[in-house]
Every structure is written in structure tokens, then in C-alpha cells.
Structure 1
Amino acid sequence: MSTSDKYCVIMAGGIGSRFWPLSTQKFPKQFQDILGTGRTMIQQTYDRISKLIPKENIFVITNKEYVDLSVEQLPEVPVENIVGEPLLKNTAACNLYMANKISEINPNATMVVLPADHLILKENIFLEKLDLAFELAAKNEYLVTLGITPTRPDTGYGYIQFVDHKDSDYFKVKTFTEKPILEIAKTFLESGDFLWNAGIFIWNVQSIHHAFELYLSDMVQEFTMCDYNANNEKDCIELIYPKVQKISIDNGILEKAQNVYVIPADLGWSDLGTWTSIYENSGKDENLNSQNTKNILSYRSTGNIIHQKNKQKAMVIDGLENYIVVDTDNVLLICPRENDQLIKEFVLDIKNLKKGENYI
């Protein structure tokens, strides 16, 4: 049994529809080796956090359909620490569920909650900032988040505004803003007091439970009927989840709480949420094309990301500039990179085709 009060929850339940057609409902992006490193996204997340937290204190919460896949990819994590949600209810429910479960094990626990599918290049800085976050959250009733130093006015990220006090490593949060339009994102960047919201949160189990009691008390009431170390835990969760509100931890708690603090961090971070973000973080040839196999011939083509699942298949590209080309077993996607935010709409339309479920 671990003597550490530090715990981790890896959130791995998303479908990653913006990364379709490679990411599908049966095999979403967190379980894939997107950048060709030899380790999948969830494995890289585990590798990173296991340098700070004992493996027996690392938990995974995912969709129940992905429990076996999580167990297969993370054999180091105790099987009982891999938890399946019966329904997708956004991030508030899974945060309360895991805070309750961990507090039953250790009522003094401080936990970090982080997505399974993010890229962090500056690992040492990440671990240093997490150390500070754990110290703050363990000693104070703070809800702490890591804010990413923005490098461009990106409209695909949420933003955190902080109250500036000079010569500090952390700041009180003033506002949260979800995915602003470009003009507003530019003003955020110019002001110097906004950070990207990476969805990485650190809090003591007692602090986050108190916040839920204040802002999402109905959800707390639903979860009180479950014993998190009993044999009937799974059955209980199956029973209550249909009644639980579908809301994010950001909307439900963090935007309302007065005790949220942010630690600015330059982590070499990307949420790898779109094909463009994959392009930006992958190697490129002399024509600035990114491709995952050598069997691709490109002529008069620049700035493309080309990905094919069948690496034995030859592909010829001629005259394309700044396109996404993805070839899987049953889908071919050809789309301008600037339209990658429309891929979620493509997925919705594909569902309406005959046997459309087979393609997503």
C-alpha cells in the first residue's frame, strides 16, 4: 500500500471526433501512437506522471467500452484502478466520482486530474509545476490549474484570465472564457494576463468535495448512495449515472468558485485535438509535408499532412497545398487544413449515410 498522499486521475473517455477518421468510437485517439513514438498517448501520459506518483496511486477513468483497452495498454496500473463510466456525462461527474473513490482510500489525498491525450514536450518543467501545485493544494483550500503560456491567438482553446501580482509563481483566477472569436483572442494575447486552459487540475479531495457541495449539490446527493470500495460499486454507478447532470467541471465548478488559482507554465504543450495540431508537432520533409510512411510520393505539393493506415499501400499526391489526406480501411478524408474544425460536422453527416455507424 502506498504511503504517498499524491494521486492521479487520467481522463481517457473521449472519442476524439475532431481527429476522425483515424480516431473512431471503437479506437479513439488516446489509445493510438499518433506521432510515431512507439507509445500511445495514454501510455505517454502514464510514463510522464509515474515519475511523480506511485503506480498504485494512478487511476484511469474512461468509458466502460474502453476499460479492457486501458488495461491492455497500461499493465502497470492495478486493474481495480481502471474505472469505466456507463455514460458520457462530461467532466464534472467523473471528477466527483474519482474524488469520492480516492477519498475512501485516503481522506488526505491530493490529486491531479489530467487528459490522456495531450502532448507535453518540456516534461521536467511539467513535473516542477505539478510539485508546486501539489504543495499549494495540500496546504490550502485551493482549486489549482496549470495555465499554458499562449503562443498565438488560438480560437480552439479556452482561456484563463488571472489577477496579476508581480514576482509570484501562481495567481488567483479572475475569469474563464471558452473558445473566443479571433478578434477577442488577439486582445487576450496582447493583454498578457491570459493563459490557455489545458484542463489539468490539482486539488485536495476535501477541497473539491466542498466545491461540489456549494455548486453542484444535486450531483453530490446522487453519488452519496454509492460505496466506492464495495462489490456493488459498479451496479450503483450504473443506476445513478442516467440521473446525473451532464456538465463540465469548468462550467459547473471553476467558473463559479472564488478559490481557483493558476500556475503559468511553458510546457511545449498541445492538446493534439486536430489534424493541424498533429501537423505542427510532427516531422516534415523538405516541402513541409508531414507523412507517416515512406510509400507516399508527392509532386508540387507543400504543407500537407498525409496519413495512411495501410503502410504497404502506395500513394501519389500531386498539386495539393495545405491539405489533410487521411486514408483508413473504410474512409478517405481530403480536406483543407484550414477547415479541420469542420471535421466534427463531417462525422455528424456521415452518421446519416446508409450504415453510417460503420464509418465512425
Structure 2
Amino acid sequence: MNSFYPVIPAGGSGTRLWPLSRKGSPKFLHRLGADERSLIQLTLARLEPLAPPARTYIVCGAAHKSAIAQQVPAVPRDNIVVEPSGRNSGPAIALAAAIIEAVDPDAVMGSFAADHLISVGDAFRAAIRTAIDVARTGRLVTVGITPTRAETGYGYIEGGAGLDIGNAVDVRSFKEKPDAATAQSYLDSGRYLWNAGMFVWRVADLMDELREQAPEIAACVQPVADLWHHDIDAARGLLERTWDDIPSISIDHAVVEGAAARGRVATVPADMGWSDIGDWDTIAELGLVEGSRLAQPDETLLIDSPGSFATSGTGRAVTVVGVPDIVVVETEAAILVVRRSEAQRVKDAVDEWKSRGRDELL
């Protein structure tokens, strides 16, 4: 695994997890359950058996660099790459790939979100090891999650023929978020996986695809990468001057879908207890599952409140008595009480506070 380099994109504000997740303190900087580690700390920990922190890169916004550096001190400061502004996952991942290629042209890179939860670390690492083997054959590789329900909130990967490398299969197509009937048909067919946004590839192969499919991105990140390991201040200055001219696009749309149409993408199916913990209802569900890493925090007390979940961002005791199926979130800035069935409306609350000029809450 000496040539494997994990990359952790750490962006976004996570408004659906307000008030714990805010612009200046997004969800990956917080713990959500009984484990004292934050989501980004958990992400790094599950990657360490595959590669040491010295070979791990984090791409983030300027507002979060100091907090990230404090939480993961084992990652070298020069490996924390700051985007001047958010431009979606395509430029962020491309920048990291170019920087890695400049120091190790034969490297295999993996991209893993900072704010996802994975309960079965061994299954995750087994899938990544298979993905690395496939990537060394020249494929771009996704890690597909074995679906457990007809989910309409995720994109899907359609698998094809086996590749005789572990359980890896060819990718026939990517599908956008489906309606309920289509999602059920995907589940029933057994051919589809959830697209969790985890990717593994040789950096040289990704850069080739970028030059072919997204030349504006390649043209921006390459000069920065050429300077990064020799004159990092000059590299950062160049990045500041050119970054806002780069297209804002996901890595899926920029590269992966086009490569899949040419038969160059593979996927590794995995059942690893994955969740993108996209809203408070999801967190409550995970907190109620026996064996989940997202157990009810010790500073909360729930009595006769089935299906409920509570968390404290300050350490103060939170008590819920006789109220089923709610989430209570306590922070220094705000308190949220929401029915689990209404969890998607938390974003509406954020919008309303914003319209009232209460930016200090956001």
C-alpha cells in the first residue's frame, strides 16, 4: 500500500444538521454519538490501516483549516489544501490528485468524504484494497454500497460483468436520484448499488481524463501542483489568483460518467454500514440500531420516548420524557426540537433565521 494516498474532501455547511452543523463549524468537525471523536477523526482512523496520515491529504475551505489541523495533528500542515472558494468536488479532487502526482506519478488515490459514517471498518478496508487492485489495471473505480431499501435520495450505479478481481464488476451506467417506483425496481433487480461518492484511481489516469473531459480544471490545477512541493507559498498565491475561474462541477459529472460511457469505470460492491448522515432522522435511526457507532450520547437521558434521539453540543444534560420520535439538539447557539418525520424541514428553519438577519446562528 506504499503508493496509496487517501484524500478527504471536507467542504459544505450541512444545513440539514443545523444547529450542530453551521458555516463555521460543519458536521465533520463534530461528534454525533457516544464516540468522542469527530466525523473527520473517525474518517482518518479508518483509513490509517491503509495509509499513514503523512500520505493523507485534506481539501477544505479557509474557515475550517485551523480546526481541522487541531483535530487531526498527525496530518502534515502542507497536506491540508485550502480551496479559495467552494467549487464542488471536481476541482477539489483534481487539485489533490495533481499535487499527489507531482510527488508520486505512480500513486493510487482514494477520495473519501469527511462527514460520512461507516460502522464496519474491516468491510470498508477490504473494499478499498480490492478497488486499489482494480485501479492498478487502469480503471477508475467507485465503491458502491449494497442498498438496503428503495432510497430516492441517492444516485445509483448499475453493475455489469465481473472483472475477476475480488467482487469488482464493470459499471454500465450511473443513474440520478430516482422516484420511489424506479428505486424499488433498482432494488428488486439486484444490479444496482448506491453511489456513495467514494473513488479510487491512479492519479495519472484521473489527470488524463481531466485533460480530455475537463481541460479547464486540469489547466488550473497543474501549475499549482508543479509548485506545491517546491514553493508552497507561490503555489497558494497562484491558486488564489486562478481558482475562481475554474468550473464548479462534481467529479461525477466532470469525469466519472463520461469515462463510464467508454467502459473505463468499475465498482466494488460493499456492505459496510455506510451512511451519509444527511439529516436528523437518519441520525436518530442510526442511534437506535444496535451495534451502530452512533449510540446515544452519555449526557442525554430519554425516558419513555421511543424512537427519539438527543444530543448536546455543550455537555449540558438533555432530558426527554414521554415524547416519541423526536430529535433534540442543544448547542451554545441554538436549540432544535423536531419531529423525525419533519427532519428535512430543518433547512427551512435555517432559511427563516437567515431572512430575519440572524446570521450569527448560521
Q: TM over 0.5: same fold?
A: yes
User: In the superposition, relative to structure 1, how do residues 330 and 39 fare at CA in structure 2: closer, same or farther (>3 Å)?
Assistant: closer
CA contact (8 A) 1:149 1:265 kept: yes
1:41 aligns with 2:39: yes
Partner of 1:255, secondary structure, is: helix
**Of 281, 285, 289, the match for 1:280:** 285
CA contact (8 A) 1:126 1:267 kept: yes
Partner of 1:27, secondary structure, is: coil
CA contact (8 A) 1:298 1:317 kept: yes
1:199 aligns with 2:197: yes
For residues 332 and 172 of structure 1, what CA distance do their matches in structure 2 show? 47
Paired letter, 1:305: F
Paired letter, 2:142: T
After superposition, the C-alpha distances for 1:116-158 in whole angstroms (9 at most, x for unaligned) are 12211221121111111111112x2211011000001112222
1:256 aligns with 2:253: no
For residues 79 and 342 of structure 2, what CA distance do their matches in structure 1 show? 39
Which residue is equivalent to 1:307?
A: 311
For residues 103 and 225 of structure 1, what CA distance do their matches in structure 2 show? 12
CA contact (8 A) 2:217 2:247 kept: yes
More helix by share: 2
Equivalent positions of 1:286-297 (< 5 A) are: 291-294=296-299, 296=301
**Of 337, 342, 346, the match for 2:345:** 342
Which residue is equivalent to 2:237?
A: 235
1:316 deviation in Å?
4.7
**Of 46, 70, 73, the match for 2:71:** 73
After superposition, the C-alpha distances for 1:203-230 in whole angstroms (9 at most, x for unaligned) are 0011101111121112212334422222
Partner of 2:85, secondary structure, is: coil
1:58 deviation in Å?
0.9
Paired letter, 2:340: R
Equivalent positions of 1:156-167 (< 5 A) are: 156-165=153-162
The TM-score with structure 2 as length reference comes to 0.90
Over the matched positions of the two proteins, sequence identity in percent amounts to 31
Which residue is equivalent to 2:16?
A: 18
1:322 aligns with 2:325: yes
For residues 314 and 198 of structure 1, what CA distance do their matches in structure 2 show? 33
For residues 196 and 265 of structure 2, what CA distance do their matches in structure 1 show? 15
1:150 aligns with 2:142: no
For residues 289 and 272 of structure 2, what CA distance do their matches in structure 1 show? 22
Partner of 1:222, secondary structure, is: helix
For residues 220 and 46 of structure 2, what CA distance do their matches in structure 1 show? 34
CA contact (8 A) 1:164 1:193 kept: no
The TM-score with structure 1 as length reference comes to 0.91
User: In the superposition, relative to structure 1, how do residues 326 and 55 fare at CA in structure 2: closer, same or farther (>3 Å)?
Assistant: closer
1:234 deviation in Å?
0.8
After superposition, the C-alpha distances for 1:79-126 in whole angstroms (9 at most, x for unaligned) are 111111110111000111001100111111111110112211221121
CA contact (8 A) 2:143 2:198 kept: yes
**How many pairs are equivalent?**
350
For residues 311 and 31 of structure 1, what CA distance do their matches in structure 2 show? 16
User: In the superposition, relative to structure 1, how do residues 358 and 175 fare at CA in structure 2: closer, same or farther (>3 Å)?
Assistant: same
Which residue is equivalent to 2:276?
A: 271
Single out whichever of 174-183 and 234-243 deviates more from structure 2. 174-183
Which residue is equivalent to 2:359?
A: 357
Which residue is equivalent to 1:6?
A: 4
Paired letter, 2:312: Q
1:66 deviation in Å?
1.0
For residues 70 and 165 of structure 1, what CA distance do their matches in structure 2 show? 39
Single out whichever of 338-347 and 11-20 deviates more from structure 2. 338-347
CA contact (8 A) 2:59 2:83 kept: yes
Gaps of 5+ in 1: none
Paired letter, 1:323: I
After superposition, the C-alpha distances for 1:315-355 in whole angstroms (9 at most, x for unaligned) are 4544x33222223223222222122223223322321113x
CA contact (8 A) 2:299 2:312 kept: no
Which residue is equivalent to 1:126?
A: 124
